[in-house]
Amino acid sequence: MSDPLKVFIIAGEPSGDALGGDVMAGLKELCPNITFQGIGGPNMQAQGLESLFDMSELSVMGLAEILPKYRHLKRRISQTAQAVIAATPDVILTIDSPDFCLRVAKLVKTQRDIRVVHYVAPSVWAWRPKRAQKMARHVDQVLALLPFEPPFMEAAGIQCSFVGHPVANTAQASRQDCAAFRMRHQIADDAPLVLVLPGSRGGEVRRLSDVFGEALARFQQTHSNARFVLPVAPSVRGLVTELTANWSVKPILIDSADHPEKLSAFGAADIALAASGTVSLELAAAQTPMVIAYKMNWLTAAIMRRLMRVDTVTLVNLVSETRVVPEFLMENCTAEAVSQGLSTLFAKPATQSAALDITMDRLGRGQERAGLRAARAILSGITKPVG
C-alpha cells in the first residue's frame, strides 16, 4: 500500500472551517488513503482533524483590529510554519484568513518547496489588486468561490479554478419546516418576520447593535405585529444576549449552530437585516430579500475607502451584476435610513427575486458540490500518485 497523502490544512474562522470540513470530506471521498494536520474548528475536527490550537485565536477582521494582537499572531504564524515543515505534507491548503495563512505559506516556502493551495481568492477585484502578484511568490494554486475571480489571479500568474460556492447546493428548509418554525415560536402567519444578522464577531456586533436595535424599533412602529429572529453564533452568545436586552424590540434568539433551526428561520423570514459578508449568499439561497448594513473601525474604514475599486460590497449585487440589494454603510448606517430600507423592501420584496436566483445559478446550483470540486482541483496539482 502506498504512503498516505498528507495534507496540512489551515482555517482561521467559522466560514473557513465550514469550507474546510466540506473539502476534507471531498478529499476523503476521492482519496481514502489520506491524513490531515493543521488548524480548524468543529467542522474540520468532525472530519478527523486535531487542531494545533483553538481556531478562534485567528478570528480577527480589519486592519485596525489586527494591530493589538499582532505579536501573538506573529508567534502563532511561526509556530504553524514550523509545524508544517515538521509534518512534511504533500500539500498545504490554506483557507481564507489571508493575513495569517499567507504569512505561514511565505515562511514555509523560504525553507521547503511544498505545494501551497489557497482556498478563497482574495478580493483583489475590490481593493489592493497588487496582492495577487505578491501571492504568486508563494502560492501555487487558488480555488475561487466566485465565477469572476479566476482571470484576476491568472493575470498574476497563479493557477486558479472556480469551484463553486457551497451555499449554492445547500438543502433549504421546506414550506412545512418554515410553517413549523413559526408555530414553534408562536409567530402568526400574517406577522412580518424580520431575520436579524448582526455578524459573528464581537467587534462588528458591538458596532451594529445600537443601529440595528433602533432600526427594528422604528420598523415595528409602522408594522406593529412584526416579529424578529436573531440566529446567534456560539462565539458571541453572551455578548448578543447582553446587547439585545437593551433593545425595545425583543428578538427571538436561536442557536446558529443548530443548522435545521437556522435554515428554517432563513426560510420563514419575510425580509432580513444583515451585516455585510457571505451571509448575503445564504440569504440568496433561501430566497430571503435583504438589506445590508455595516460599520467598521474608523481607521479600517478610512483605509478601505481610499483603496476600494467597486461600488458595492454585497456579493449578491456583484455576482448577479445588479444593484438591487440596498446597502447602508459607515456614515449611512443610521437607524432612520436602515428602517426606511426595511420598510421599502417589505413593501416590494419581489424586486430582489431574479437577482437571488441568478446568484445561485452562477455559484453552481445543481452542479457537483463545491467541496468535491475543490478536492478534484487540489488533487489535480499533486504529482504523487493518489487514490
- pLDDT for 145-179, tens place per residue? 999 999 989 999 999 999 999 999 999 999 999 99
* pLDDT tens-digit series, residues 72-116: 888 999 999 999 999 999 999 999 888 899 999 999 999 999 999
Question: Which among 125, 128, 61, 124 has a CA at the least distance from the CA of 295?
Answer: 61
% of the chain exceeding 90 in pLDDT: 76
SS (H, E, C) 159-183: EEEECCCHHHHCCCCCHHHHHHHHH
CA-based torsion, 62, 63, 67, 68: positive or negative? negative
pLDDT at 217 exceeding the cut of 60: yes
Are 286 and 358 in contact by the 8 Å Cβ rule? The answer is no
Give me the torsion for CA of 364, 369, 375, 379, rounded to 10°. -70
3-state secondary structure of 316: helix
CB atoms near residue 75 (< 10 Å): 10
> Burial, 28: exposed, middle or buried (Cβ in 10 Å; 0-12, 13-18, 19+)?
middle
Instruction: Give me the mean pLDDT over the 14-18 stretch.
Output: 88
Q: What is the pLDDT of residues 349-382, one digit of tens each?
A: 999 999 999 999 999 999 999 999 999 999 998 8
Q: Which residues pair with 104 in a beta bridge?
A: none
Strand runs labelled E in the chain: 5-11, 34-39, 91-95, 115-119, 141-144, 159-162, 193-197, 227-232, 252-255, 271-275, 290-294, 327-329
For residues 372 and 80, give the distance between their C-alpha atoms in angstroms, rounded to a whole number. 26
Residue at 123: amino acid letter: S
Mean of pLDDT over the chain: 91
Helix (H) or strand (E) holding 83: helix 70-87
Q: Cell numbers for 322, please give them.
A: 445588479
Region 4-25 average pLDDT: 94
Q: What's the pLDDT score for residue 147?
A: 93
pLDDT at 295 over 90: no
Q: Say which residue, 217 or 135, is predicted with more confidence.
A: 217
Angstrom distance (rounded) from CA 65 to CA 205: 14
Close Cβ partners of 166 (under 8 Å, ≥ 6 residues apart): 18, 19, 22, 369, 370, 371
pLDDT in tens, 315-336: 999 999 999 999 999 889 999 9
User: Is the Cβ–Cβ distance between 374 and 143 less than 8 Å?
Assistant: yes
Q: What is the pLDDT of residue 71?
A: 84
Beta strands in 31-144 (DSSP E): 34-39, 91-95, 115-119, 141-144
Structure confidence by residue, pLDDT tens digits, 248-269: 999 999 999 899 999 999 999 9
Q: Residue 231's closest CA among 266, 275, 191, 193?
A: 266
pLDDT in tens, 33-75: 999 999 999 999 999 999 999 998 886 544 445 556 778 888 9
Contact partners, residue 105, CB within 8 Å, separation at least 6:
92, 94, 116, 118, 138, 139
Q: Going by C-beta distance under 8 Å and a sequence separation of 6 or more, which residues neighbour residue 68? A: none
Residue written as grid cell 420584496? 349
Supply the pTM of this predicted model: 0.85
DSSP letter (8 states) at residue 352? G
Q: Which residue did the predictor score with more confidence, 194 or 100?
A: 194
Per-residue pLDDT, 130? 77
- Return the pLDDT at 272: 98
Beta carbons of 37 and 80 less than 8 angstroms apart: no
Cβ distance 375 to 26 under 8 Å?
yes
Q: Are 1 and 33 in contact (CB under 8 A)?
A: yes
What is the C-alpha to C-alpha distance for residues 14 and 24, in angstroms, rounded to an integer?
15
Is 51:80 a contact under the CB 8 Å cutoff? no
